[in-house]
Every structure is written in C-alpha cells, then in structure tokens.
Amino acid sequence: MPTWRGTTNSNWGTASNWTSPAAVPTAATDAIFDNLSPACTVNVAGVCANLNFNSGTGYANTITMTNAITVGVTAPTVATNTAVTLSSGMTIAGTGGIQIRHLNTGTLTLTSNGKTWPNAFSIFNVLSTGATGIVALADNWVVNGTLTIGSGSYVPVFNGAFSITANSNFVIGTTSRVASTSGAISTIILGGTGTWSQASTVSSLGVNLNINTAGTITISTGCSYGGQGTNTGSSFTYTAGTVICQGTFTFVHVQASIAYTINLNGSSSTSATATSSTGVNFNNLNFTSNSGVSQQINVTGNVCVVGNISIASTVITKANSILSGGNVYLNGGASLTGYFGPGTTPTTYTFQGTGTWTESITLTAATNQFGISGNVIINTSGTITLGSHVGFRVCTATYTNGTVIYAGFGFRVNTCTLAGFTSLGTLPLLQHTTTSASGSGAFLTINDSTELQITSLIFEGFAATNSFIHDGTKGWTASTFYFQQTAGVGASNSNLNLTAGNSYRVTSSFIFNARSRFQVGSIMSRVGIGTVYFTLDFGAYQNVYFMGALNINSSLGQTIWSRKGTITTTQNWNNWNIPATRFSSFISG
C-alpha cells in the first residue's frame, strides 16, 4: 500500500512521493504515514481506501489540508472494512476535511490517538439502501470542524463507549437514524459553539448526546432525539453552556422499544425563554409516536416548554407518548393528537402560562387513548383556554390558580383525582370512562371544599364488570346525568359506586339505563360506611331502566322509579312494572 515518503516534493498528488507502490492512493488503496514520513500537502482532492497516520511509531510531521481527503472504497464486491487512524504527534494545517464513505457491508473504525481533528469530519454512505453500518470508536475524538453523520437513509450504528466532541456544527445528514449499540453506547458531546441541525425530523439520534460547552449551542428547528436507534442507557443530557432552541424539537417514540433518559435542566420559571445559560428550554416541543405500546422517556429534573407542547403521531390509533418522572413546565398551550400515557413514575405537567389546550376528538376514549396521565397542575397568572374536551387518564389534576376558559368544553376522565376545580365554577362537561384496563373500576376522586358543579355528566366506555367509583371529600351536582349502558357490548355489570359521607345531586335530567332487559345486575351503590345522598331534584326528568340501588339515600328529592332494577336498603327508590304504554312521571315535593 502506498506509504508517504515525499521524495520529490510535498504534494500528495505526485506519484513519486509515494512508495510501495510509487502511486498516488486511490479508492482501492490505502494512504499510509509513518514516523519516517515528511511533511505533506494535500494539493489535490485526496482519495484512499483507508487513512493511517499511525504506522510505525506514528506520523510526527505536518499534513497541510489544502483539499479534503475522501476515505473509503466506492463499490465493494466483498465486505470491506474502513479505518481512519490519526497520530498523536502529527500536526494538521489547512482547512480541508476528512470525508468517509462508509459502506454498509463493513465496519468503519475511527482511532484518534488523542489527536484533535481541526476541520470538517463527515461519515456518509455510497449505497442508498438504508441498511446499517457499524462505526466503531476505538477512543475519544475531538472534531473542531463541522461533524456530519449520515446521508440518504443510511443508518450508522455507533459501537464503543467513547465520545466524539463536536466543537463546531453538528449535522445529522441521514433521514433515518444514528443508532447505538447495547452495552457500548457512544456519546456525542456538543462542546463548542455551533448549530445542531438535521436533514429530517423523522431521523432520530440514539447515541448519547451531551451538551457541555463554554460556548453556545443552537438547536435548529426539526432536530430530534430518541426512537429506534436508542439502547439501554441512551440519554440526552445537559451539563453546561448556553442553548438556543429554535422552532420545534421532537422526541421520538417507537413501538415497544427500550426507554431512554433526558436530563436537560429546563427552567421552571414562567418567564423562561428559549435561550438559556443553565439548561435546555424548548421553544416548541413535540412528541412523535407511531406506537400503541410506546417507548418510555425517563425524565430527570425539569423540561421547559416556552411555546407549545404537542403530540403529532403518524397513526391516530397508535398515538401514545409515555413519560416517566420529572416535571414538564408548560408556558404555552398544548395540542395533543395523541395522549400522554402512564409511565413507571408519574410525570408532573404544570400549565403555568397562557395558551390553548386542545386534544384530538378522534382519539377513542373507550380504549383509554386520550388525555394526560400523571400529575397535571394548573397554576398560572395567565389564561388556559380549552379548544376541545381535554382528558385526564390515570391522573391527579389540581387547580391552584389561573383563568381557565372552558368555552363550552370540559373534561373526560378515566381514573382521576380532580382537586380545587370548584373554584372555576360550573364544568360544562365531565365524561367518565371505564374500560377493561380500569381494573376493579375507574375512580373519579373529587377533593374540594364544595360539591363539583357540572352541567353534563356522562358515563361511557362500558365493559364487562367495570365500574365507576366516585370518592373523595366531596360529591357533585350535575344538571344532566347520562348513564346508558351500550347496546351490543358483552355482558356488562357496570355499577356506579358513590362514597358514603358525600352528596350527589341531579337537578334536571337523570337517565340511568341498563344495556337491555337481560342485564339486571347493575346498580348505584354505596362505598364505605355511612350515608350517601343521591338526590334527584323535584321536577327533574328521570328514566331508569333495569338499574337498581343499594344503600342509597334519595329521601331529599323526588322518588326514583326503576323499571325492574334491584333495590335494596335504599330510601325513596321504587320499582314499577313496565306498562304496555310507557310513560314517565315524577312526584313533586
């Protein structure tokens, strides 16, 4: 393989300067520099199969990068490994970079021997099939020029628990992903002043990414982290530096994949901006998922969203974003075409700014695919406006402060605690869902100083034996109450369990119907010891069909007439036979 001897002059492009053979390296031959090699100037675009500056005891002279060197064969017939090896004693002048053609049929090995590469450094692929190629880090690298990884749909898979410190711009050129290897996750450190940009938001980063700089990192709109390229231990972290977030950043989830961690020291301030010297404050933050069983993001510390948070999923029925732990501070609104599912540890989402909160109404409540799980806090000096019904799944929702404009919308809940919401006045709609995933029943816990006022209380998502349980320190007062077990659903025994000590009241319309006359087991019943008052106001409409009551006290209102329901130790409920002509009546007080 050609070894540099500089016999004639210092020009790379002169054949007589090389030996064994005396030929300028090509894409099929290596370029070798050893301890006997003199200074070299890359006076033409350099090409070689492998680039080795560490032959013998290592190159100790100066290579002047007047042009770039492209390393790697062009079109192999057999699997071809590629290597770039620097020497600790070499000097690098000029501005030309190293471009590595990595073929997906071999391993690319990178060895710095502690030498900082001062210019651009890029790894790309000559084949467009999108297959994977191993990039093996033999030691830590420092690149002071633009670091570009990937091209086309190439998937570089980094192997080696070492780092590449990018002190200038960082570009992800592939539209697929930059992947990591289990047990040997490589790290990219953004260590200088530069811009992180990506060819596509779909592409994702699975190696560790750490921001640790005395300078400023600008994260361009369209950057992303996570997804299929991650492995156990993959993380996106902040250590030091000023970070400017532009546009929208995306965290990617994929189907049933390994969890990754983020630790970004976002600000908890209501006046945070997208430029921070103490952490990463996202301008807009998006979560993308095509998964019904989603990859979990473990959140350490705070995530700050200055603008809006969103979930934008590619498949509406697989729109699950799972976060675990940490705090997400929302200084704007939320737009969820998808749902935040429950993680291992609840994440706390705090609405502390002004914005609109919307959720796609095409998300299917009956299958638990809606809303936010975790802890939701509304504590703002601003205004949160609902742009649709919004959901609390497995959630504790607390209202502390702020203007909330319902705009005719309300909440749908699964297993949820609502605390403090009576301060906001009457809730236009509360839709309570139970599903097979609710276990023994879907809880609605109301912790408040007075009964929660609701215009329309709706129950839905009936499934076999899954009940609704209302507990907490207070009950509710609803204008209309609609509990209609769904026709066509399998054997359904969904009871409504109300907690002793609380009062529940319906003022206008009470519809409490079984699925069919064959379903006689469903009841309204008491949970706990003591009295539970369920009052149907005088003058209200009622329609109770094959639903019963157990240990309910309805003596403060009109008599409730149940057609064929089972009534046990209950006050002011009576059965009546189904007449040939159906009618409804009420007893006025």
Partner 1 sequence: MAINHTYTILDKRREDDLLATDISIQFTGDVTEEVLTTVYHFRPETVEQVEANIDIRIAAELEKLSAKQIIDDLITQL
Q: Which residues contact partner 1 by CB under 8 A?
A: 348, 375, 377, 379, 381, 396, 398-403, 417, 419-420, 422-423, 447-449, 473
Smaller CB separation from partner 1, 119 or 324 = 324
Whichever of 211 and 397 has its CB closer to partner 1, that residue is: 397
> Around 248, how many Cα atoms within 13 Å sit in the side-chain half-sphere?
16
Token pair 């329901």 is found at 565
Question: How many whole angstroms from its chain centre is CA 46?
Answer: 44
CA distances from 383 to 332, 380, 395, 399, 403 (A): 10, 7, 22, 12, 5
State which residue, 47 or 395, has the beta carbon closest to partner 1.
Answer: 395
CA–CA separation, 62 and 33 (whole Å): 11
Q: Which of 414, 405, 503, 498 is nearest to 453 (CA)?
A: 503
Closer to partner 1 by CB, 312 or 397: give it. 397
Q: Where are the strands (E) in 95-234, listed by range? A: 98-101, 107-111, 121-124, 132-137, 141-143, 147-149, 155-159, 163-166, 170-172, 177-180, 187-190, 194-198, 204-205, 208-219, 224-226
User: Which of 235, 250, 313, 312 shows the shortest CA–CA distance to 283?
Assistant: 250
As measured in angstroms, the least distance from the Cβ of 345 to partner 1 is 13
CB of 374 to partner 1, least distance (A): 11
Q: Which is nearer to partner 1, 171 or 446 (CB)?
A: 446
Write out the two tokens for 87: 């020497």
Query: Shortest distance, CB of residue 275 to partner 1, whole angstroms?
Result: 25
Relative to beta strand 275-276, strand 235-245 is: antiparallel
Closest CB 126 distance from partner 1, rounded Å: 55
Give the C-alpha separation, 435 to 442, whole Å: 8
Least Cβ distance, residue 516 to partner 1 (angstroms):
39
- Minimal distance, residue 524 CB to partner 1, in Å: 25
Residue number, 422 or 558, with CB nearest to partner 1:
422
Query: Measuring CA to CA, which residue among 52, 157, 174, 185 is closest to residue 115?
Result: 52
Question: Rounded to the nearest whole angstrom, what is the least distance from the CB of residue 424 to partner 1 in the complex?
Answer: 11
Pick between residue 350 and residue 497 the one whose CB is nearest to partner 1.
350
CB closer to partner 1, 268 vs 484 = 268
Report the nearest approach of partner 1 to the CB of residue 351 (Å): 12
Task: Measure the N-to-C terminal CA separation of the chain; round to a whole number of Å.
Answer: 105
Q: Look up residue 429 and give its two tokens.
A: 């709609």
| Closer to partner 1 by Cβ: residue 447 or 465 | 447
- As measured in angstroms, the least distance from the Cβ of 387 to partner 1 is 22
How many angstroms separate the CA atoms of 100 and 84, rounded?
A: 8
